[in-house]
Chain A
Amino acid sequence: MADITAAAPRRRARRLNLRLWLPLLWLGAVALAAIFAPLVAPQDPLMQDLMLERLPPAFMDGSEPGYWLGTDSLGRDVLSRMIHGARIALFVSLVAATATCLFGAALGLVAGYFGGWWDRVISRLVDIWMAFPPVLFAVLLVAVIGTGLTSVIAAIALIDWTRFARVIRAETMVQARMDYVDSARIGGARRLTTLISEILPNVLPSIIALLMLEMGIAVIVEAILSFVNLSISSDDPTWGSMIAEGRNAIHFAWWVLLFPLIALFLTVLSFSTLGEGLKQRFDPVLQ
């Protein structure tokens, strides 16, 4: 009975997981900056001062104290605008991605597990939806509801739920074929119970990874919509509108473009890396 020795299971010594902590560090910093923006931002993000236009960042000649990352062509502080822009970026990514995830994942789970009629209807809907060009869809939507944060969020959710539905449906179908699902039936579980307490925990890591990815995508979509001036009013600072403005001055004031771009890049990268990191972290088998 070598079989039943109760030696403690081997666990890998917990190393500091950089894939988890680096993105968390960056996102935490961005989130704190966003929440306490009025306290953290060194200047008023909307205050124009034509005497201070296109100031270079602090490490270059000709900079002014208090304007760490320089100013744009209207003399507004880049760092302060970025900090306030983070508010919008994070708000949109959080709300839009969560809405997308809840809607898409629920449909994916139902289609993947109940199959049959449910699956046919949901899958056809996804097919039809995906045949629609997403950019056109977003522009149409904004044209109908008008510009503003609500329409940005609605656009993201209405376009991207298909991604969740498709991936989660496939994943659910794989899980539904596992013996533990039959085993739950043998154990007298109802179908909805089986879906929620047996299958969902196994699909959850994928949902979390997708959710993180979607947050990154939401940040980008918001930036793109502000870039083409379809998001909120152009006075309010967003990363996308800053990039759009910075583009015009790239030859003589590159910092206006570069710093929001770096913030956008790091944020999106952090979300997708965090997604993978969390997926591994929550998988008892991979650990």
Chain B
Amino acid sequence: MTGSHTHPNTLDVMQLGIALPNGHRLLRDVSLSLRPGEVRALVGESGAGKSMIGKAVLGILPQNLRVTGGEILLEGQHLGAMTPWTRRKTVAQSAALIPQDPLTALNPARRIGPQITDPLVRIHGWSRAKARDTALALLDRVHIRDPKRVMESYPHELSGGMRQRVLIAAAFAPSPRLIVADEPTTALDVTVQKQILRLIRELQQETGTAVLFVTHDMGVVAKISQKVTVLFAGKVMEDAPTERIFTDPAHPYTRALIAATPSYADLDRPFSPVPQTLIAELQGAIARDDARHQGAAR
């Protein structure tokens, strides 16, 4: 564990490649980094592979996917070089997930309380009392009115927004260095989405946790992140500070994504689909790339 203090980045993903068993590539040499306290948005349309990056970092990729190359460094430590057991332990101790669907992420048969405290006791070796106090404090922090009662509740007794608050509290409880937020507001109403985004922002700033924020919504990107990685078909199209993405986007695909997002405030700007010609062009470039990749492998 030494050396992690001196390493400047919380997360480094370098040249990560992931493929199906039949060789079809899902991620193509994806690189990105995350400094402490930074929020990086991973944005793209479905099939762009944005969720897969977070899953690869946390080591929860579906069984049938192969990592074909690249390195993942969590606080400077090479995850690839570890035994599976050490890797799981390292990841569990310094990273956490806020999942997309708050309904299925909680076990419906167990009370909320132990679902938050169990990992704290099991993985972080806290005492039951400390885990419980922390959980209560955090539930209060995420504006849950009666934390004691909620700890005793079952998931179905809470609304979607409440459940997502519980999951945010659970993720922040062990003070992780990295949180992967996988489309955490997609299933929620807009007003609830705003509250949840605000919560993640506040907690993240208080604790200095770095957040990898997976989303398909350029509006959310604009509000929550400092850095953006734009993905198309498993390939990074653009990696830039959020400010630049919205003032002076370099890649035509980034511009197209913004143009496809409707805005009630801006009726002069027609919103239009990503042009077919652009998609064909990008797909063509990727196909040529893949062919070269295969040629090199042979």
Chain A residue with Cβ nearest B273: A1
Contacts of B280 in A (CB 8 A): 2
Is B294's CB within 8 Å of the partner chain A? Answer: no
Contacts of A1 in B (CB 8 A): 273, 276
Min distance, Cβ B49 to any Cβ of chain A, angstroms: 16
Complex interface bits, A1-35 against B, C-beta within 8 A gives 1, otherwise 0: 11000000000000000000000000000000000
Chain A residue with Cβ nearest B278: A2
Min distance, Cβ A138 to any Cβ of chain B, angstroms: 38
Is B279's CB within 8 Å of the partner chain A? Answer: yes
In the bound complex, how far is the Cα of B273 from the Cα of A1, in angstroms? 7
Min distance, Cβ B160 to any Cβ of chain A, angstroms: 20
Chain B residue with Cβ nearest A2: B279
In the bound complex, how far is the Cα of B283 from the Cα of A1, in angstroms? 13
Is B19's CB within 8 Å of the partner chain A? Answer: no
Min distance, Cβ A5 to any Cβ of chain B, angstroms: 9
Complex interface bits, B257-298 against A, C-beta within 8 A gives 1, otherwise 0: 000000000000000011010011001000000000000000
Interface size classification for chain A: under 10
Chain A residue with Cβ nearest B276: A1
Min distance, Cβ B7 to any Cβ of chain A, angstroms: 40
Contacts of A2 in B (CB 8 A): 274, 276, 279-280, 283
Q: Which A residues, 26 to 83, have Cβ-Cβ distances below 8 Å to chain B? A: none
In the bound complex, how far is the Cα of B283 from the Cα of A228, in angstroms? 71
In the bound complex, how far is the Cα of B274 from the Cα of A2, in angstroms? 8
Contacts of B276 in A (CB 8 A): 1-2
Min distance, Cβ B278 to any Cβ of chain A, angstroms: 9
Chain A residue with Cβ nearest B277: A1
In the bound complex, how far is the Cα of B276 from the Cα of A2, in angstroms? 6
Min distance, Cβ A11 to any Cβ of chain B, angstroms: 13
In the bound complex, how far is the Cα of B278 from the Cα of A1, in angstroms? 10
Chain A residue with Cβ nearest B280: A2
Chain A residue with Cβ nearest B47: A2
Min distance, Cβ A10 to any Cβ of chain B, angstroms: 10
In the bound complex, how far is the Cα of B276 from the Cα of A1, in angstroms? 5
Contacts of B279 in A (CB 8 A): 2
In the bound complex, how far is the Cα of B251 from the Cα of A179, in angstroms? 40
Chain A residue with Cβ nearest B283: A2
Min distance, Cβ B14 to any Cβ of chain A, angstroms: 29
Min distance, Cβ A39 to any Cβ of chain B, angstroms: 49
Contacts of B283 in A (CB 8 A): 2
In the bound complex, how far is the Cα of B277 from the Cα of A1, in angstroms? 8
Min distance, Cβ B131 to any Cβ of chain A, angstroms: 40
Min distance, Cβ B40 to any Cβ of chain A, angstroms: 26
Min distance, Cβ B225 to any Cβ of chain A, angstroms: 25
In the bound complex, how far is the Cα of B204 from the Cα of A217, in angstroms? 60
In the bound complex, how far is the Cα of B260 from the Cα of A2, in angstroms? 14
In the bound complex, how far is the Cα of B283 from the Cα of A55, in angstroms? 74
In the bound complex, how far is the Cα of B276 from the Cα of A77, in angstroms? 75
Min distance, Cβ B155 to any Cβ of chain A, angstroms: 22
Min distance, Cβ A179 to any Cβ of chain B, angstroms: 18
In the bound complex, how far is the Cα of B283 from the Cα of A14, in angstroms? 28
In the bound complex, how far is the Cα of B283 from the Cα of A2, in angstroms? 10
Min distance, Cβ B256 to any Cβ of chain A, angstroms: 11
In the bound complex, how far is the Cα of B280 from the Cα of A219, in angstroms? 59
Contacts of B273 in A (CB 8 A): 1
In the bound complex, how far is the Cα of B273 from the Cα of A2, in angstroms? 10
In the bound complex, how far is the Cα of B48 from the Cα of A2, in angstroms? 13
Q: Which B residues, 92 to 111, have Cβ-Cβ distances below 8 Å to chain A? A: none
Chain A residue with Cβ nearest B279: A2
Chain B residue with Cβ nearest A4: B276
| 7 A–B contacts from the bound complex (CB under 8 Å) | A1-B273, A1-B276, A2-B274, A2-B276, A2-B279, A2-B280, A2-B283
Minimum-distance CB pairs A-B, first 5: A1-B276, A2-B279, A2-B276, A1-B273, A2-B274
